[in-house]
Amino acid sequence: MSGTVTEDSRSKAQAQRARVVVQRFGGQLAGMVMPNIGAFIAWGLISALFIPSGWWPNAQLAQLKEPMITLLLPVLIGYTGGRQVHGQRGAVVGAVATIGIAIGAEIPMFLGAMIVGPLAGWVLRRFDGTVGKRVAPAFKMLVDNFAAGIIGGIFAVLGLLAIGPLIESVTVALGHGVQMLLHMHLLPLVAIIVEPAKVLFLNNAVNHGVLGPLGVSESLAHGKAIEFLVEPNPGPGFGVLLAITVFGPAAMRATAPGALVIQFLGGIHEIYFPYVLAAPKLLLATISGSAAGLFVFSVTGAGLVATPSPGSVVALLAVTPKGGYLGVIAGVAASAVVSFLVASVVLKLGKRADGVATGGAVR
């Protein structure tokens, strides 16, 4: 009997430790992403307003879009990640390390920034804690500056040569997985691949590299294609942001309403990715919502005549064939409702788990 009690206690302790590790990991992601939400919103507004398919197209102002998403935002995340690990010195090294992967890839390197920023800061912290503290005071500033420069430079070179190609190979593998599921007529299961790829900012690669070409041939043959509805569907992001607005932590709740408008009406899906990265359990909501929408699209025979750009509800309706509005609207609505319900449960359970872990009352 005592052996059984001991085993139960051990399993509970292991489960508690696993939960703490997951919460700590999520907290680290949130710590890198959430302080920079304002920059994401600025980029989203500029994109929604000034790109050629935006509300007020302006070629000169639209030039801000690409440098912000490919350079500014990854560097900010790398800077913040380095700062988490080793203060201001870690922040500088994290930013330098991130610029290598940002320049070396054709897609936004947010995932890479979350890796190399903290890693470069950690290496510098180890150097300062071993070699740096033994340097004579007269040479300390010189050694500190050169150490930061050398470590940051090494990581920038490694990022340019190694991490960029690795992420691109992951993108190719995801594309093959999507094609396989489509050929097997398992369309709702495509959400299992597409939604995680989206929040890692691989959405354009998957959409325009895989789904777009498939949709073009289908549209030429039948006048519409369901492939055009897989990635641009704004329903899953809308549901997650609405759930965060109602049930989310205060830090997220403050900015989620503005992000919701930009995402649903402006079609800038990237605006909700940081929220999911900050709370990875919300992937369950986006996957469920996307799968529900794809199921409804399949049942109703919905499809679009071209890829909507950007992925707003307005753009979706603009490329919907005559007589096909009901299926498109029903699929988007189903995605939003399912995503909202699942995200609400996830957020409530997360609050309850945090309250139990800290021994506090859950409100």
Q: What is the pLDDT of residues 60-78, one digit of tens each?
A: 988 988 888 889 988 999 9
pLDDT over 70 at 175, yes or no: no
List of residues 6+ apart from 357 with CB closer than 8 A: 16, 19, 20, 23
Work out the pLDDT band at 280, boundaries 50, 70, 90.
Answer: confident
pLDDT over 70 at 48, yes or no: yes
Most confidently modeled range among 143-147, 188-192, 272-276, 329-333: 329-333
* Mean per-residue pLDDT over the chain, rounded: 82
- Quick one: DSSP state of residue 360? P
pLDDT over 90 at 159, yes or no: no
pLDDT over 90 at 312, yes or no: no
pLDDT over 50 at 356, yes or no: no
Considering only CA atoms, which of 309, 69, 79 is closest in space to residue 211?
309
Work out the pLDDT band at 357, boundaries 50, 70, 90.
Answer: very low
| pLDDT number for residue 359 | 46
Any idea which residue has 């294609």 for tokens?
225
Considering only CA atoms, which of 242, 345, 239, 252 is closest in space to residue 292?
239
Work out the pLDDT band at 202, boundaries 50, 70, 90.
Answer: confident
This prediction's pTM? 0.72
Tell me what the mean pLDDT of segment 145-155 comes to.
92
Most confidently modeled range among 39-43, 100-104, 153-157, 352-356: 153-157
Any idea which residue has 């029903």 for tokens?
330
Work out the pLDDT band at 51, boundaries 50, 70, 90.
Answer: confident
| pLDDT number for residue 25 | 63
Tell me what the mean pLDDT of segment 249-260 comes to.
87
Question: Is-contact 113 95, C-beta < 8 A?
Answer: no
Work out the pLDDT band at 271, boundaries 50, 70, 90.
Answer: confident
Q: What angle do CA 349, 351, 357 make, to 5 degrees?
A: 100
20: tokens are 């703490």
Tell me what the mean pLDDT of segment 134-150 comes to.
85
Of residues 177 and 349, more confidence is placed in 349
Angle between helices 190-197 and 164-183 (to 10 degrees): 160
Of residues 132 and 290, more confidence is placed in 290
Containing 134, the helix (H) or strand (E) segment is: none
Question: Is-contact 117 32, C-beta < 8 A?
Answer: yes
Helices (H), 185-281: 190-197, 203-206, 212-222, 235-247, 250-253, 256-264, 273-278
